[in-house]
Amino acid sequence: ARNAFDQAITSARRDPQLLGSVLAILAASQGEQAALQRAEQLVQAEPDNRIAKLVLARRLLAADRFDEAAKLARSLLQNPTDNKDRLGALEILAGVNYRRGNYTACQGYYEQMLAIDPENVFAANNLAYLLAEHLGKPQEALPYAEKAVRLLPYDANVLDTLGWIYVLLKRFDRGIGILLQAIEFDPQAAGAHYHLAEAYRRRNRAADRDSAIREIRLAYKLSQQAGNSTLQQQIEQTLKALGIAP
3-state SS record for the chain:
CHHHHHHHHHHHCCCHHHHHHHHHHHHHHHCHHHHHHHHHHHHHHCCCCHHHHHHHHHHHHHCCCHHHHHHHHHHHHHCCCCHHHHHHHHHHHHHHHHHCCCHHHHHHHHHHHHHHCCCCHHHHHHHHHHHHHHCCCHHHHHHHHHHHHHHCCCCHHHHHHHHHHHHHCCCHHHHHHHHHHHHHHCCCCHHHHHHHHHHHHHHCCCCHHHHHHHHHHHHHHHHHHHCCHHHHHHHHHHHHHHCCCC
pLDDT at 220 over 70: yes
pLDDT tens for each residue of 26-41: 888 888 888 888 888 8
So what's the pLDDT on residue 96? 98
Summarised one tens digit per residue, pLDDT across range 110-159 is 999 999 999 999 999 999 999 999 999 999 999 999 999 999 999 999 99
**What is the tens place of the pLDDT at every residue in 72-106?**
999 999 887 889 889 999 999 999 999 999 999 99
Average confidence score pLDDT of the chain: 92
**What burial letters (b/e) apply to 204-218, b meaning 16+ CB within 10 Å?**
eeeebeebbbebbbb
Please tell me which residue, 10 or 94, carries the higher pLDDT value.
Answer: 94
For the chain, what percent of residues have pLDDT higher than 70? 99
Q: What percent of the chain has pLDDT over 90?
A: 67
Q: Is residue 44 predicted with pLDDT exceeding 60?
A: yes
**pLDDT value for 219:** 95
Q: Does 1 score more than 60 pLDDT? A: no
Q: Which residues of 56-90 are buried (b: 16+ CB within 10 A; e: fewer)?
A: bbbbbbbeebbebbbebbeebeeeeeeeebbbbbb
| Sign of the Cα pseudo-torsion (231, 233, 237, 242, in order) | positive
CA distances to 54, 108, 219 from 73, in Å: 7, 15, 35
Structure confidence at residue 243 as a pLDDT band (50, 70, 90): confident
pLDDT at 49 exceeding the cut of 80: yes
Mean pLDDT, rounded, for 148-174:
98
Q: Which amino acid is at 81?
A: T
